[in-house]
Amino acid sequence: MELLEFGIKIGAALLAGLLIGIEREIQNKNAGLKTNALVSLGAAVFVLASLHFEGEEYVDMTRVIGQVVTGIGFIGAGVILHKGTVVRGLTTAATVWCSAGAGCLAAIGQYKELAVLTVLIVLINTLFGPVDKYIRKKFDNDEENRLEE
């Protein structure tokens, strides 16, 4: 792989991770700008490293993507906090997981798909955050009203 191609692919991964991370940073989440950028970049590097062995006998490059998914699961588990019946960090963990997916797309040169994914992740976190809060508040209020009745 040429150095320019490598640079473009990891640059695309980094940009996607940064865009995803900016939203998390604005929301003041634990896994923000740097985390999402590094996860996306790291995923891209691992996939690009596996592409070096393309065409060789007994090589299954897709195994690296599977290992990225598994490894990111451990990072995601680290941002999930559980206290009593309250669970926090699931959206942040899912976002980190998606950032790894973005890195994988960048590594295989699927730039249009990467752009769509990045926009969707940011839109879901931005638009549905308030919807989620509204539903939770509505449910909590209804629950309190039922208990009072």
Contacts of 106 (CB under 8 A, 6+ apart): 9, 10, 12, 13, 16, 40, 44, 114
Residue carrying structure tokens 């490059």? 61
Walk along the chain (149 residues) and give the pLDDT tens digit of each residue.
Answer: 799 999 999 999 999 999 999 999 998 888 899 999 999 999 999 999 998 888 888 888 788 888 998 999 888 888 888 788 888 889 999 999 999 999 999 999 999 999 999 999 999 999 998 898 888 888 875 554 444 33
Regarding pTM above 0.75, the answer is yes
Crossing angle (nearest 10°) for helices 90-107 and 3-26: 160
Domain containing 110 equals: 3-148
Q: What is the pLDDT of residue 142?
A: 53
Q: How many domains does the chain have?
A: 1
Cα–Cα separations (whole angstroms), residue 14 to 33, 104, 106, 132: 10, 11, 9, 29
